Structure 1
Amino acid sequence: MTSMKKLLVVDDSAFMRKLITEFFKGNNEIEVVGTARNGLDAIDKVKRLQPDVVTMDVEMPEMNGVEALKKIMQDTPTPVVMLSSTTTSDATITVEAISNGAVDFVAKPSGTISLDLDKIKNQLVEKVVAATKVSVTNLKQISKPTIPVAKPDSPEPVKTVVQPKNESWQKFKKKIVVIGTSTGGPRALQEVLTTLPKNINAPIVIVQHMPAGFTNSLAKRLDQLSEITVKEAENGEILQPGVAYIAPGGNQMTVRKIGMTKTIYIDKTSPAVGGHKPAVDVLFNSVAEMTDLDRIAVIMTGMGADGAKGVRELKRTGNTRVISEDESTCVVYGMPKSVEKTGLVDRVEKLENISTAILGYLE
């Protein structure tokens, strides 16, 4: 029988601590071994109780969740799932937390003290269980370069897959970069986007699995750190080289052709696909219809298989190069693994080499 994983619940509200603890009663994988009322208390109890995973409220007195997280990741690295309200300030702090080593987050349905927290019970339990299986070494904070520059050529890709013989790759043809990622994605995107040069000659369109209210904060943070422009995508805008467009959380995003231009289409009414909204497959399938573009598709860390069907469609309909993140740097080796299983991946690269691989296909 597999031993139970230990969970520490951190929240300044006694009601919330009790409710979250109740969520795991009867769970055959997770055992709550303690609770903490603020960040300082959390740091002490992580050292004493040595939990396998922590749930951490964002806003707390004495020391907030982000400051506690930084200290925990520095002294006793442990997977942490943040709990956040969807206010603008909390969204900004949550994105900062993820950039500092949090595995994932769950948005509280109705503010700091959510009496209806049971609405996200299944989601929280799923993410806590998943967090016990992540690579703690890959949760370390990524450095934040003041002036990002492209990395030097990497010696060799980790793996290379030979292209189909009938596919050509022409330097003069217009290109688009499409990226899909999930758990661990914000830090992976930070590593990749901050090392792309301002004059990159292609637009970059991104699906990061996130709920509504958080992708704008993510885009703003990445924009501050990058030479390229990073923004939350808006309906109807024309794709421009040197700009990265992040799909707004809670919406499906596609690319459409209008005349000779390519534009963003944001669909608020379409349902989730594979449980995701936005979904990587939805974006990739729309780009597959752009037969006048060569495509560079990148799949990075994340749970599940979103992106695998889209990669098949991209390869079927036109010139496409596929890069997947190597297992050794993934926080969760789910999405890259599913794409590699298609046999259509051209390069499997460690995270720090992905930007170089992208630029190699654009030269």
Structure 2
Amino acid sequence: MSIKKVIIIDDSAFMRKVISDIINQDPHLEVVATARNGQDGLKKVQEYKPDVITLDIEMPVMDGLKALKEIMAEHPTPVIMLSSLTYEGAEATIEALELGAVDFINKTSGSISLDINDISEEICRKVKDATSAMVEKPKSHNHTVSSQKRSPNFVSDQTIITIGVSTGGPKALQQLLSKLPGDFKAPILIVQHMPAAFTKSLAERLDRLSEINVKEAVNGELIKPGTAYIAPGDYHLSIKSVGRAYATVIDQTEPIRGHRPSVNKLFESVADLNRVNKVGVILTGMGNDGTLGAQMMREKDRNTYLIAESEQSAVIYGMPKSIIENVDPDLIEPIDSIPSSLIKLFNHWLC
């Protein structure tokens, strides 16, 4: 692995120094420049052409969101946001992820986090992961390529859609959910790998941008068509039968393969249901969470329909690639095409 160049943009001299020291300890990473605000950062990005940028949100002269828009438009580069755990910080972080930031790091104790060294491993891991992210200028029109191997063979009058997503997820979820009509005929259950303080802001923002209802899931609610339920951060989301209906289950049982919420747990709970059509969707993300659950869905019900986001659009291709290599999904296509495919399930195969 070649050494990757990193730029730190933060208005705190202390944070610039500490984060630089953390990143420079990794033999595969090198901080080539730091900047004290977004305006200064843009000049450094143009000069040094880094592989990854860490970007604070709250800065004078030019804040992180304005700088991010400029970076994505002029110098598309993987960006990791540094965020506070406040409600306002969570809102701004979600907006940044939808604008194209790859991931974020919590400033655990405010804008100047004296304990930032406690998460040094997480910082280096996320910066290294970001080096493999696909970031490019928005295109006015994409030539999309889809690969459909099988059509659904649904037999029930009820359908449940489950979605697993990780790094790059907020933007992908916005692209998907905002294109579904308000009268969409299925409930959607979503596991997005994200800390507890951020999933509520994510659900609220997606709800504002979508015709369907989007909410953070609560324990024991009966799921309804036209509503998307997002697993609360640090809680598993699964589903159970309640008579002829289905209800959410929220719990804090042990993480599964390092994840809570776990896509595998959600998919496995759906695999156990009867009298319902099952659609599993795997979007962008690092690792392979969801693969074992998708295998179980396919083994227990041959009518399960699996969709994987294609490499063409996935910010991080890990989770979809694992599904493609290990489960043989029925449909592989870019994120922009997935909403119309889900709509088609109801307008064609489920009519």
- Are residue 206 (structure 1) and residue 194 (structure 2) matched? no
Tell me the CA shift for residue 173 of structure 1: 2.1
Take 2:54 and 2:20, find their aligned partners in 1: how far apart are those partners? Answer: 10
* 8 A contact 2:23–2:123 mirrored in 1: no
Structure 1 counterpart of 2:147, which letter?
K
Distance 1:168 1:49, change over 3 A: closer
Distance 2:311 2:264 in 1: 21
Distance in 2, matches of 1:142 and 1:247, equals: 33
- Any idea what SS the aligned residue of 2:24 has? coil
Residue matched to 1:298: 281
The DSSP-based 3-state class of the residue aligned with 1:180 is strand
Cα RMSD (Å) of the superposition?
2.0
Is 2:150–2:331's contact at 8 Å kept on the other side of the alignment?
no
Aligned pair partner of 1:160 in 148, 157, 174: 148
Distance 2:17 2:145 in 1: 49
Distance 1:235 1:40, change over 3 A: same
Farther-moved stretch of structure 1 (201-210 vs 41-50): 41-50
How is 1:10-29 mapped onto 2 (pairs within 5 angstroms)? 10-29=9-28
Deviation at 1:286, TM superposition (A): 1.0
CA separation in 2, counterparts of 1:343 and 1:285?
Answer: 14
Deviation at 1:142, TM superposition (A): 10
Selected match of 1:190 from 147, 158, 174: 174
Give the Å deviation of 1:156. 9.2
- Indicate if the aligned counterparts of 1:100 and 1:142 stay in contact, CA closer than 8 A: no
Query: CA offsets per residue over residues 200-220 of structure 1, 9 Å max, x none?
Result: 111000011101111111111
Structure 1 counterpart of 2:299: 316
Superposition deviation, residue 119 in structure 1:
2.2
**Partner in structure 1 of residue 154 of structure 2:** 169
Is this contact kept in 2: 1:315–1:344, CA < 8 A? no
Q: Distance in 2 between matches of 1:187 and 1:162?
A: 28
What is residue 146 of structure 1 aligned with on the other side?
Answer: none
Alpha-carbon displacement from aligned partner over 1:182-226 (angstroms, at most 9, x marks no partner): 111111111110111111111000011101111111111111111
User: Is 1:231 equivalent to 2:219 in the alignment?
Assistant: no
Q: Is the contact between residue 267 and residue 290 of structure 2 (CA under 8 Å) also seen in structure 1? A: yes
1:258 matched to which residue of 2? 242
**Counterpart in the other structure of 1:77:** 76
User: Is 1:281 the counterpart of 2:264 in the alignment?
Assistant: yes
1:141 Cα deviation after fit: 9.3
Residue 259 of structure 1 deviates from its aligned partner by 2.2
1:221–1:214 distance in 2 versus 1, CA, 3 Å: same
CA distance change for structure 1 residues 189 and 141 in 2, over 3 Å: closer, same or farther?
farther
Q: Using the alignment, how far apart are the partners of 2:242 and 2:140 within structure 1? A: 39
Q: Distance in 2 between matches of 1:156 and 1:51?
A: 29
Match of 1:102, as an amino acid? A
In 1: Cα distance, 2:62 partner to 2:139 partner:
20
Give the TM-score taking structure 2 as reference length: 0.94
What residue is the counterpart of 1:150 in the other structure?
A: none
Give the TM-score normalised by structure 1.
0.91
Cα deviation, residue 68, structure 1: 0.8
What are the Cα deviations for residues 143-191 of structure 1, in whole angstroms up to 9, with x where unaligned? 9xxxxxxxxxxx996222247xxx9423x52100000111111111111
Decide whether the 8 Å contact of 1:9 with 1:35 is kept in 2: yes
Identity of aligned residues (%): 45
Q: Where in structure 2 are the equivalents of 1:325-336 lying within 5 Å?
A: 325-336=309-320
CA contact (8 A) 1:159 1:347 kept: yes
The answer on 1:46 being equivalent to 2:45 is yes
Amino acid at match of 2:333: E
Query: Is the 1:101–1:140 Cα contact (8 Å) retained in structure 2?
Result: no
How many residues are aligned here?
346
- Could you tell me whether the CA contact under 8 Å between 2:282 and 2:290 is conserved in 1? yes
Deviation at 1:343, TM superposition (A): 3.6
- Gap regions ≥5 residues in structure 1: 144-154
Q: Indicate yes or no: 2:226 matched with 1:242.
A: yes
